[in-house]
């Protein structure tokens, strides 16, 4: 089955999908989106956000829906822990990033704050830092409270939670967030970055990265 991922180097929701594709060792074609507002992209993905996956002649939008589909079609290696409660923890961790943090800090929200609400760059940055702090504090405590200390978020193998965490750490660093209060997140992030599945999905490794 041919897979084409429409994304961009700095598309962190797309980076989640790239990580999962790599973890599952699924070859895919990287299609750099020239413009989100182009008629061609809107036709492909009427939701108008990145990423979108072309698969088996169909198009699926939304990173979490894409990842679930990949898990269903290509279950091995799996991206969830075997214990149902740990699976729930992994989903909960991933959802805080995908459903609560990422949507309010993404590019279009920051642009709206600056261009329409009229707040200055310093305030946009303060907004960004505030929501990262809220989310990362909760995620850090969630990892601290686990009965066992794992190298990855919820086990000895990387999975969905790690695929959501690492792109968010990239973003947090890009926006100069202070990560000193989140030693577990930093440790898991560092462990993930030892793996090709994560390094190959990083923004700087993508073909449309400036100067690539």
Taking the C-alpha atoms of residue 137 and residue 119, their distance in angstroms, rounded to an integer, is: 26
Residue closer to ligand GSH (CB basis): 97 or 153: 97
Stretch of 59-67, 112-120, 130-138, 186-194 lying at the interface with ligand GSH (CB under 6 A) = 59-67
Instruction: Residue 17: count other Cβ atoms within 10 Å of its Cβ.
Output: 28
Task: Report the interhelical angle of 160-174 vs 12-23 (nearest 10°).
Answer: 140
User: Does 62 interact with ligand GSH (rule: CB under 6 A)?
Assistant: yes
Kindly give, in sequence order, each residue whose CB lies less than 8 Å from that of residue 99, ignoring residues fewer than 6 positions away: none
- Return the bridge partners of 61, or none: 52
12 is a contact residue toward ligand GSH (CB under 6 A): yes
Binding mask 82-121 for ligand GSH (x = CB under 6 A): ----------------x-------xxx-------------
Minimal distance, residue 126 CB to ligand GSH, in Å: 19
Nearer to ligand GSH, 97 or 188 (CB): 97
Q: Would you tell me how many other CB atoms lie within 10 Å of the CB of residue 142?
A: 18
Bridge-based pairing of strands 58-61 and 3-7 is unpaired
Between 63-73 and 12-23, two packed helices, what is the crossing angle to 10 degrees? 10
CB nearer to ligand GSH: pick between 49 and 169: 49
Cβ at position 67, least distance to ligand GSH in Å: 9
Binding residues for ligand GSH, rule: CB under 6 A, are 11-13, 36, 49-50, 62-64, 98, 106-108
């Amino acid at each position: 089955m041919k897979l084409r991922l429409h994304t961009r180097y700095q598309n962190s929701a797309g980076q989640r999908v790239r990580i999962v594709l790599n973890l599952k060792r699924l070859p895919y074609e990287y299609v750099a989106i020239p413009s989100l507002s182009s008629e061609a992209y809107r036709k492909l993905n009427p939701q108008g956000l990145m990423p979108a996956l072309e698969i088996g002649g169909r198009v699926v939008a939304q990173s979490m829906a894409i990842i679930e589909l990949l898990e269903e079609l290509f279950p091995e290696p799996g991206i969830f822990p075997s214990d149902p409660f740990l699976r729930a923890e992994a989903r909960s961790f991933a959802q805080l990033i995908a459903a609560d943090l990422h949507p309010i800090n993404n590019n279009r929200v920051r642009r709206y704050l600056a261009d329409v609400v009229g707040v200055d760059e310093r305030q946009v940055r303060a907004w960004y830092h505030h929501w990262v702090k809220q989310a990362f504090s909760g995620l850090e405590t969630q990892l601290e409270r686990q009965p066992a200390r794992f190298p990855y978020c919820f086990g000895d193998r990387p999975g969905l939670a790690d695929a959501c965490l690492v792109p968010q750490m990239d973003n947090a660093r890009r926006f100069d967030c202070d990560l000193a209060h989140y030693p577990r997140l930093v440790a898991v992030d560092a462990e993930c970055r030892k793996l090709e599945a994560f390094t190959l999905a990083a923004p700087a490794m993508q073909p449309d990265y400036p100067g690539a």
